[in-house]
């Protein structure tokens, strides 16, 4: 049980048991090991919250380790963004920032150890030949013709590989395990390949680079990790992880696998996200439609909402796809508590209140956040001309339309009751002005005679309104599950052409003049919005973070 008396997930249970039994002398050291070849996404957030969360709950440490063993795809830009995102999510690695590339010499020395033990050899087969000789699930692979090179020859060739004597791809170092193993990963896996490429940290010092399976356990060992938590795809790599550490006889952490996060209506592979960026399907890694942490931040997600989501989905051993609506539900729950309410008209039409004094401006009290009394109140200006939402008026209204229509009285939020008396149209028949009268006795929004109105509209004072742009988002893809994209189709064929709609003629209340970039607001009746990073020089741009309607609550109620 945890502090909230909830059952521990299976990973935390293992850690708790180990602490109890004293397996690691009470130490808990986890790590989050991203490869700096892209920006972090919501799937990474699951792993981050798990690893940093465990360290925090069990009084241990979590290392941030860059798994930078692949110089061709890695860049400093990614290192910087990853650090920023982990910090923004609310986690702190303290002094424990590491780079796999710092261990290249140690890894090389350990490779020499294995060669000396007769457990590794230099192989001259090409990558393609190695693949072809690996066998099939039902058939053993073939031994490489170079498998029985002498230790001396292997040492000599490996050193010359390191010294740059051979071209890319001409040789590899392979572990000598078992070409007939039912586990493919044990069929003499590659430990090193030759890549003459400049590394973002080690420059041209190395031209041989370690493969993931060889490197990862060593990195964990050097850092004295206790629980090496990874995703399920690595379950059948665990025997190899264990084999390398056992052969070397070095410190040996425990690898534990959990199911990765998949979300509906989006992709999570960095390769696919990179394609969206490079081919300009989106504006960048931080496009608010992206499932990246930076995209979600720009969209208006709060770190709390993401952490709550990760807690809610928990961790288990079975791959599944989480409904995007659950993520939005966690977001709304948090934003409802934390974001201030303001009024903004996204698609405005002017209302003229004919019996309101020409030049008068009065200030009305409005509550900033009914969920949070400490947020206080503000004053909003009201005058003869205001804007309301075009959709809140209908000339020929059907029975069930309760908002403004000729002859109907409605409430203006925090202001007065108004009654529509007439409309003005342009030559094309578009409504340009709605004329109303107001009842001064209803100030604040209640009639002293107790009469009721059926709807309350939000509005903005025309004289003081600020111009703004609102970017309205929908799912990036039209397909719910992108993992089962039909053969011959490519995931980009399912991009949603309507994932972004820009409303450029919005009117917002003057209180938003000082709104900071990335600040989050609830526009009354219209949804949650966040000030975009493109907002500057008095030009206000908002991203719609989420609508107010909770799809997840609906799914829970109706069961579909
Ligand atoms: P990709 O396969 O898209 O390149 P990756 O898993 O290789 O992604 P890494 O940078 O290696 O990306 O990931 C760092 C850590 O984040 C790993 O420990 C990995 O297990 C974890 N991780 C990545 N994607 C997910 C996901 N969808 N759900 C949970 N954890 C994830
Ligand atoms: Mg990886």
Q: Looking at the structure, do residues 49 and 197 belong to the same domain, yes or no?
A: yes
The answer to whether residue 6 scores a pLDDT higher than 80 is: no
Q: Looking at the structure, do residues 334 and 401 belong to the same domain, yes or no?
A: no
- Interior angle at CA 560, CA 522 and CA 492, nearest 5: 70
Average pLDDT rounded to a whole number, residues 36-43: 97
Task: Say if 265 falls within a structural domain.
Answer: no
| pLDDT for residue 1 | 65
Q: Looking at the structure, do residues 293 and 358 belong to the same domain, yes or no?
A: no
Q: Decide: 466 and 507 in contact? Cβ < 8 Å.
A: yes
Q: Cα(538)–Cα(307) distance, rounded to whole angstroms?
A: 33
Q: Looking at the structure, do residues 450 and 551 belong to the same domain, yes or no?
A: no
Q: How confident is the model at residue 559 (pLDDT cuts 50, 70, 90)?
A: low
Q: Looking at the structure, do residues 82 and 209 belong to the same domain, yes or no?
A: yes
Domain boundary, last residue among 434, 458, 482: 458
Query: What distance in angstroms lies between residue 34's CA and the mean position of ligand 2's atoms?
Result: 7
For the question of residue 350 being annotated catalytic, the response is: no
Task: Give the DSSP per-residue string, 117-157.
Answer: TT-EEEE---HHHHHHTS-BTTB--PPPTTTT--HHHHHHH
Q: Looking at the structure, do residues 312 and 296 belong to the same domain, yes or no?
A: yes
Task: Give the DSSP per-residue string, 516-544.
Answer: PTT-EEEETTTEEEEE-TT-BTTBEEEEE
Query: Hey, whose CA ends up nearest to atom 13 of ligand 1?
Result: 34
Q: How confident is the model at residue 4 (pLDDT cuts 50, 70, 90)?
A: low
CATH at residue 95: 3.40.50.620
Task: Say if 35 falls within a structural domain.
Answer: yes
Q: Looking at the structure, do residues 123 and 158 belong to the same domain, yes or no?
A: yes
Nearest listed ligand to the Cα of residue 483: 1
The answer to whether residue 560 scores a pLDDT higher than 70 is: no
| pLDDT for residue 484 | 82
For the question of residue 84 being annotated catalytic, the response is: no
Nearest residue to 144 via CA among 162, 163, 157, 125: 125
Q: Looking at the structure, do residues 330 and 349 belong to the same domain, yes or no?
A: no
Query: Hey, whose CA ends up nearest to atom 15 of ligand 1?
Result: 34
Query: What distance in angstroms lies between residue 164's CA and the mean position of ligand 1's atoms?
Result: 32
CATH at residue 492: 2.40.240.10
Range of the domain at 427: 344-458
Query: What distance in angstroms lies between residue 57's CA and the mean position of ligand 1's atoms?
Result: 22
CB of residue 260 inside a 6 A radius of ligand 1: yes
Domain boundary, last residue among 418, 434, 458: 458
Nearest listed ligand to the Cα of residue 35: 1
Domain boundary, last residue among 435, 458, 481: 458
**Pick from 141-150, 451-460, 533-542: least confident:** 533-542
Q: How many domains does the chain have?
A: 3
Task: Say if 3 falls within a structural domain.
Answer: no
% of the chain beyond a pLDDT of 90: 93
The answer to whether residue 538 scores a pLDDT higher than 80 is: no
CB of residue 43 inside a 6 A radius of ligand 1: yes
Average of per-residue pLDDT values in the chain: 95
Average pLDDT rounded to a whole number, residues 141-145: 98
Task: Give the DSSP per-residue string, 378-416.
Answer: EEEEE-SEEEEEGGGB-SS--TT--SB-TT-EEEETTS-
Q: Cα(327)–Cα(528) distance, rounded to whole angstroms?
A: 14
Q: What global pTM score does this model have?
A: 0.94
Bridge partners, 469 (sequence order) = 541
Task: Say if 396 falls within a structural domain.
Answer: yes
Q: Looking at the structure, do residues 98 and 164 belong to the same domain, yes or no?
A: yes
């Amino acid at each position: 049980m945890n502090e909230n008396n909830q059952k521990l997930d299976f990973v935390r249970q293992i850690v708790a048991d180990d602490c109890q039994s004293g397996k690691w002398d009470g130490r808990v050291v986890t790590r989050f090991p991203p490869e700096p070849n892209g920006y972090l996404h919501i799937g990474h957030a699951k792993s981050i919250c798990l690893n940093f969360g465990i360290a925090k709950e069990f009084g241990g440490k979590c290392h941030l380790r860059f798994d930078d063993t692949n110089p061709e795809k890695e860049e400093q830009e990614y290192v910087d963004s990853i650090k920023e995102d982990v910090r923004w999510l609310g986690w702190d690695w303290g002094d424990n920032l590491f780079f796999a590339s710092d261990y290249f010499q140690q890894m090389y020395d350990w490779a020499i150890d294995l060669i000396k033990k007769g457990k590794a050899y230099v192989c001259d087969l090409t990558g393609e030949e190695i693949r072809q000789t690996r066998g099939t699930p039902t058939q053993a692979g073939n031994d490489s013709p170079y498998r029985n090179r002498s230790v001396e020859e292997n040492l000599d060739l490996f050193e010359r590989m390191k010294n740059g004597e051979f071209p890319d791809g001409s040789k590899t170092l392979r572990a000598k395990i078992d070409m007939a193993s039912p586990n493919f990963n044990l069929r003499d896996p590659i430990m090193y390949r030759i890549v003459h490429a400049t590394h973002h940290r080690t420059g041209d010092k190395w031209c041989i680079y370690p493969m993931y399976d060889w490197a990862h356990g060593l990195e964990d060992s050097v850092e004295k990790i206790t629980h090496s938590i990874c995703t399920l795809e690595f379950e059948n790599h665990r025997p190899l992880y264990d084999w390398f550490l056992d052969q070397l006889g070095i410190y040996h952490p425990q690898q534990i696998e959990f199911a990765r996060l998949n979300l509906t209506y989006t992709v999570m592979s960095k390769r696919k996200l990179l394609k969206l960026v490079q081919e300009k399907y989106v504006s960048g890694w931080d496009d608010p439609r992206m499932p990246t942490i930076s995209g979600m931040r720009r969209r208006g997600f709060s770190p709390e909402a993401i952490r709550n989501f990760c807690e809610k989905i928990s961790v288990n051993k079975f791959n599944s796809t989480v409904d995007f609506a659950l993520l939005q539900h966690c977001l709304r729950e948090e934003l409802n508590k934390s974001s201030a309410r303001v009024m903004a008209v996204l698609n405005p039409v002017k209302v003229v209140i004919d019996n309101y004094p020409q030049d008068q401006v009065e200030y009305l009290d409005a509550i900033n956040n009914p969920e949070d009394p400490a947020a206080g109140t503000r004053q909003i200006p009201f005058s003869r001309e205001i804007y309301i939402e075009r959709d809140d008026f209908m000339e020929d209204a059907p029975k069930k339309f309760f908002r403004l229509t000729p002859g109907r009285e409605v409430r203006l939020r925090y202001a007065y009751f108004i009654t529509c008396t007439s409309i003005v149209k342009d030559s094309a028949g578009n409504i340009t002005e709605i004329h109303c009268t107001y009842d001064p006795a209803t100030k604040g929004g209640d009639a002293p005679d107790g009469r009721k109105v059926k709807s309350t509209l939000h509005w903005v004072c025309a004289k003081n309104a600020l111009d703004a742009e609102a970017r309205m988002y929908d799912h990036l893809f039209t397909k719910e599950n992108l993992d089962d994209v039909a053969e011959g189709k490519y995931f980009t064929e399912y991009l949603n052409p309507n994932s972004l709609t820009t409303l450029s003629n919005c009117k917002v209340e003057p209180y938003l003049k000082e709104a900071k970039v990335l600040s989050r607001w609830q526009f009354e009746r219209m949804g949650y919005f966040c000030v975009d990073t493109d907002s500057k020089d008095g030009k206000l741009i908002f991203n719609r973070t989420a609508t107010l309607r909770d799809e997840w609550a609906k799914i829970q109620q109706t069961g579909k």
